[in-house]
A and B are shown apart, each in its own frame.
Chain A
Amino acid sequence: MTTAPPTGRRYRPPAPLGGRRRADSPAHRTAKAAAFLAPALIVLGAFTIWPMLSALRLSFTDASGFGDPEFIGLENYIGVFTDPDILNAVTNTALYTVLFTPVAVVAALGLALLLNNPRLPFRGFFRTALFVPFVVSFSVAAFAWSYLVDPQVGLLNYWLRGLGIQIGNVLEDPHLAMPMVVLVAVWKLFGFYFVIFLAGLQDIPTSVYEAARMDGAGAWSRLRNVTLPMLSNTMAFVLIFAMIAALQAFDQIYVMTGGGPYGSTQTLVMEIYESGFRKLDIGFASALSYVLLAATLLLSLAQFVFFGRKEKDLA
């Protein structure tokens, strides 16, 4: 993933894999590929795609989990688009995504750029330390952070008060709760993106930098004209996965705020969970999931198109 040259990501016409000697028929080639794909496709097909199709079917029914579901046409989808709670969840999810994605990606990229400098002392330690939050589970992370910002006994709250900063009861404040749950997600996940960026950076050949230096390019210019363009594959990869993570935000919200205060952190997946597992309305939860799937797919395609075009511009 990390070393794809700028043109490598997009599909290219089949390279002459076996040299001129190859006499493979298309059917033969497909059979060969199928053998490689079979184990993964069986697992994905049975345990992900099949349940997805079941959920699609359920989205047109009044399924509750028990008894025989009845077909109710588009009722659930109409519900999704008319329910004011869903509108609120869409707004919150959008806000979460807009806050999380750039902050997490920029933080990860910035730290990776700085830590790629071989002259920085202790950089091995920093690299390790910054990745550690990623190994902590969301539920534990949420629990630890809730304790840190607790208005009564929270250490962070106490220290900030000492500095004259009153953050009050963050998780009960409708303006601060969302930034807080985003912060926890950034804290937990940026190490993951950071490592991917580090890898991407190390794949840029030093000769490219030297050439740029010879041409008299300063640090800023090297960053803009060499580093960032050469990272664009990695960037596309990280952005897509960061966005998917944001659109499916759930774990730390479930633990820290339960969607409150006043529904201000109620995201779509929280809503899906509540409809399915609290109100036992599986049909509605499935319909909502498919709407989210469609939105994610569209946003991802838009990103692919954007990065694809940028690549072309560069070339």
Chain B
Amino acid sequence: MKRKTVLMGGAGSAALAFLGSGCSGDGETGGPATLTFWHGYTEADGDVLQGIVDDFNASQSDITVNTEVKTWASIDDTLLTALSAGEGPDIVAMPAERLPVYADKGALVELTSFYADDSSNTANLIPGAVAMIEVEGTRYGVPTGFVPLAVYYNTALFEAGGVTEFPATWDEWVAAAKQLTVDEDGDGTPEQYGVVLPDHATVANGLWPSLFYGNGGDIVSEGIDAVIDSPENAATLEYWRAAIVDDKISPTGIDGVGADELFGAGKAAMTIGGPWMASIAAENGIECAIAAIPAGPATQAASAIGVSMAVTVDADDNARAAAEQFFAFFLNDENAAAWSLGSGWPPLRTDVPAEAVNSNAVVASLTEIADLGRPLLPGVVNSVDVLAAVDELTQRAIAGDDIADLLAQAQETIQNAL
């Protein structure tokens, strides 16, 4: 923000031929700084974040953080152009799987010394959350959110369907879903589905990774090797295809947003989602409860939704130091609990006592299952192509294509992307 390039009448200037030269720090540190902070927390969480920012601004006299609230999508649309011209924010928050590409391309500042500093309050961060800000061993940001995907279920529909206990395994899960699927007019298209399992663009892209983990499979190993073409994943796809297509426990051809809407409309008894499902349910007058995704044959695990914030190259040295000060403040004991309660996400630090967040029922239930969360594609720079390949795989698999072929194809595409 502070980089004022003087290139007036620069249409002919060769300096413009190449993209902005990145940061040109002033070299001084510790002086007054005004930081711009872009984030996409537009709901109640945004108010809580603003409160923390205001407290920070009031806590000292040198640094002022100004927030600019956008949608997550528009941050992604505008960040590149703004940063390339030195007009970007100093701090930016983004979905965690978007961070590696920005870090890899040189848009973000590494925070190694910040993490090494005891006063940064980073020592007890959830390891999975930290994995999502690491690229090739270097840390580039701090997490602002990390929560495993969970099952949000409509308690009224459970009661009406006579399901009294939440399923613990896949088989029980499918059985419960069948019991909750209602096709009153018998036309083969249920009016109410037991569960809604989107086959592409799933919530935070995490549904199918979660199912793969459950059977002991994975997508990428160590950030460099594609491992999607495995017998475990083949079995997972077969299993869920049978449940979705043959048993009709879920509609097909739906995406994550559609799934949220269907659940919000009371037409599905269960959905896989993030903490906001609780407020969607409340808005629609649906009584809902939260449970962990049932255990697969191999293990119980869930892909996590992550949000991270980072310092950009548009911040000069002074602004960097100021941003780190803000991060440490954001992660301190008091704010770690306050942010969790206010955002409805579990605490980012493992040493926040459970009592501190018990007052929010959603946070309490999510904190209980927080251990199940696995970072999605940590350190993978080209997550765009990898996730597109997973989407195509699951969508085609549900549509009935040959699973072995699809996996081989996905394996190749993903390996190329890596």
A and B part of one assembly: yes
State the A residues within 8 Å of B (CB). Answer: 45-46, 50, 53-54, 57-58, 61, 63-69, 151-152, 168-169, 172-173, 258, 260-263, 274, 276-280, 282
Query: Is the pair A54, B22 in contact by a Cβ cutoff of 8 Å?
Result: no
State the B residues within 8 Å of A (CB). Answer: 11, 16-22, 76-77, 80-81, 83-84, 101-102, 105-107, 200-201, 253-255, 262, 265, 267, 313, 382, 384-385, 388, 391-392, 395-396
What is the minimal beta-carbon distance from A1 to any residue of chain B, in angstroms? 31
Alpha-carbon distance A280/B106, docked complex (angstroms) = 10
Query: Is the pair B106, A66 in contact by a Cβ cutoff of 8 Å?
Result: yes
Query: Is the pair A262, B396 in contact by a Cβ cutoff of 8 Å?
Result: yes
Q: A66 and B19 in contact (CB under 8 A), knowing A46-B11, A172-B253?
A: yes
Indicate which residue in B11, B16, B105, B254 contacts A66 across the interface (CB closer than 8 Å): B105
Alpha-carbon distance A46/B13, docked complex (angstroms) = 11
The 4 closest A-B pairs by CB, nearest first: A64-B105, A172-B253, A65-B84, A67-B106
Contacts of A64 in B (CB 8 A): 19, 105-107
Query: Is the pair A280, B22 in contact by a Cβ cutoff of 8 Å?
Result: no
Contacts of B391 in A (CB 8 A): 260
- What are 11 A-B pairs with beta-carbon distances under 8 A? A57-B18, A63-B18, A65-B83, A66-B20, A66-B105, A67-B21, A68-B18, A151-B253, A173-B253, A261-B253, A279-B385
B78, closest chain A residue (CB): A277
Indicate which residue in A54, A61, A278 contacts B16 across the interface (CB closer than 8 Å): A54
Give the one of B16, B267, B313, B388 with max A CB within 10 A. Answer: B388
Query: Is the pair B107, A57 in contact by a Cβ cutoff of 8 Å?
Result: no
Query: Is the pair B80, A65 in contact by a Cβ cutoff of 8 Å?
Result: yes
A172, closest chain B residue (CB): B253
Contacts of A173 in B (CB 8 A): 253
Alpha-carbon distance A65/B80, docked complex (angstroms) = 7
Query: Is the pair A260, B107 in contact by a Cβ cutoff of 8 Å?
Result: no
Contacts of B17 in A (CB 8 A): 53-54, 57
What is the minimal beta-carbon distance from A153 to any residue of chain B, in angstroms? 8
Contacts of B81 in A (CB 8 A): 65
Alpha-carbon distance A189/B255, docked complex (angstroms) = 29
Alpha-carbon distance A173/B398, docked complex (angstroms) = 12
What is the minimal beta-carbon distance from B413 to any residue of chain A, in angstroms? 9
Query: Is the pair B262, A152 in contact by a Cβ cutoff of 8 Å?
Result: yes
Alpha-carbon distance A280/B104, docked complex (angstroms) = 10
Query: Is the pair A67, B22 in contact by a Cβ cutoff of 8 Å?
Result: yes
Query: Is the pair A277, B382 in contact by a Cβ cutoff of 8 Å?
Result: no
Query: Is the pair B200, A261 in contact by a Cβ cutoff of 8 Å?
Result: yes
Give the one of B19, B265, B382 with max A CB within 10 A. Answer: B19
Indicate which residue in A50, A172, A262, A274 contacts B392 across the interface (CB closer than 8 Å): A262
Indicate which residue in B18, B385, B396 contacts A69 across the interface (CB closer than 8 Å): B18
Indicate which residue in B16, B105, B265 contacts A65 across the interface (CB closer than 8 Å): B105
Query: Is the pair B396, A274 in contact by a Cβ cutoff of 8 Å?
Result: no
Known: A63-B19, A66-B84, A151-B253. 20 other contacts (CB 8 A): A45-B11, A50-B16, A54-B17, A58-B18, A63-B18, A64-B19, A65-B20, A66-B20, A67-B21, A67-B105, A67-B313, A68-B18, A68-B22, A152-B262, A173-B253, A274-B384, A277-B80, A279-B384, A280-B101, A280-B102
A279, closest chain B residue (CB): B384
Contacts of A276 in B (CB 8 A): 80
Alpha-carbon distance A98/B385, docked complex (angstroms) = 28
